[in-house]
C-alpha cells in the first residue's frame, strides 16, 4: 500500500526561514517509502475553522483504500492534526505530535503569549483540550505518538502530554532545535512508530 504523510508546521510557517526547511522534508523522508505533502495553515492569517476545513479537504483528497495516511504536526501543527483526526478517524492510520501544545496549561510560557499573533492557534488548542481530546478511545490513542524534549521553554510538559498516549522524550532541550532533530536525526523513531500503527 502507498504510504502518505501530511506534515503540518507550526507558527510563522509562511516565513522563508521556516518554509525552506519544510520543503526538504519531502525529499528527506523519501527514504522511508512515504510521499509527503506539506500543509501550511498560514497561522497568522484567517481563522481556525477555515484552517481545519482546508486540512480535512486535504485528508479527503489523499485518503484512499490503497493507501495509509499519516499526520505529523509540529509545534502549533500538533493540535490541528489531532483536531482533524477527530473528524476523520477512519481515514488516518497514525498521528505524531512533535512538541505541540494540546492544553492551555497553568504554568510556564502562557498560551495567550504563544498565540499573540495567531488567534487561530489559540482556538485550535482550546478546541482540542475542551472537546476533541475527550472523544479519543483507548484504541485511537494507540495511533498517537507525542514527541517532546527533556525541557521545552515554550511548550511545558503538562500542556503536551495526554493520558493514555505514548510519549517519546527526545534527549534534547529547546523547542525549535528539538523539532528539527525530531524530523531529521531521530526520524527513524517517528516512522518506526507510524509503520507499526499500520499493523494494528
In the chain, where the domains are located: 2-197
Q: Which three cell numbers stand for residue 17?
A: 526561514
Q: Which three cell numbers stand for residue 77?
A: 501543527
DSSP class of residue 105 equals -
CA distance 142 to 157: 20
CA distance 114 to 121: 9
Q: What is the pTM of this model?
A: 0.96
Q: What is the pLDDT of residue 17?
A: 64
Please report how the helices 77-87 and 119-130 are oriented relative to each other, as an axis angle in degrees rounded to 10.
50
Give how far Cα 68 sits from Cα of 56, 92, 107, Å: 16, 7, 38
Q: Which three cell numbers stand for residue 86?
A: 477527530
- Total residues belonging to the chain: 200
Q: What is the 3-state secondary structure (H, E, C) of 119-145?
A: HHHHHHHHHHHHCHHHHCCHHHHCCEE
Report, as ranges of residue numbers, the positions in the chain whose pLDDT lies below 50. Answer: none
Name the nearest CA neighbour of 153 among 192, 104, 114, 194: 114
Buried b (16+ CB within 10 A) or exposed e, 26-46: eeebeebebebbebbbebbee
User: Which CATH number applies to 2-197?
Assistant: 3.40.50.1820
Segment 40-78, tens digit of pLDDT: 999 999 999 999 999 999 999 999 888 999 999 999 999
Give how far Cα 107 sits from Cα of 103, 156, 174, 196, Å: 11, 7, 17, 34
Q: What is the pLDDT of residue 124?
A: 98
Q: What is the pLDDT of residue 24?
A: 86
Q: What is the pLDDT of residue 14?
A: 85
Burial of 130 (0-12, 13-18, 19+ CB in 10 A): exposed
- Is the CB of residue 124 less than 8 Å from the CB of residue 102? no
Amino acid at each position: 500500500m502507498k504510504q502518505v504523510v501530511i506534515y503540518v508546521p507550526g507558527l510563522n510557517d509562511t516565513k522563508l526561514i521556516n518554509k525552506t526547511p519544510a520543503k526538504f522534508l519531502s525529499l528527506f523522508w523519501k527514504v522511508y517509502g512515504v510521499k509527503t505533502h506539506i500543509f501550511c495553515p498560514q497561522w497568522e492569517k484567517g481563522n481556525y475553522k477555515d484552517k481545519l476545513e482546508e486540512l480535512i479537504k486535504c485528508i479527503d483528497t489523499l485518503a484512499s483504500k490503497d493507501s495509509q495516511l499519516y499526520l505529523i504536526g509540529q509545534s502549533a501543527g500538533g493540535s490541528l492534526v489531532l483536531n482533524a483526526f477527530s473528524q476523520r478517524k477512519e481515514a488516518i492510520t497514525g498521528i505524531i505530535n512533535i512538541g505541540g501544545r494540546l492544553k492551555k496549561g497553568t504554568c510556564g510560557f502562557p498560551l495567550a503569549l504563544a498565540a499573540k499573533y495567531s488567534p487561530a492557534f489559540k482556538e485550535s488548542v482550546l478546541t482540542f483540550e475542551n472537546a476533541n481530546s475527550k472523544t479519543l478511545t483507548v484504541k485511537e490513542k494507540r495511533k498517537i505518538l507525542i514527541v517532546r524534549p527533556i525541557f521545552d521553554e515554550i511548550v511545558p510538559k503538562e500542556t503536551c502530554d495526554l493520558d493514555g498516549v505514548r510519549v517519546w522524550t527526545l534527549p534534547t532541550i529547546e523547542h525549535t532545535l528539538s523539532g528539527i532533530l525530531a524530523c531529521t536525526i531521530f526520524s527513524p523513531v517517528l516512522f518506526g512508530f507510524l509503520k507499526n500503527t499500520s499493523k494494528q
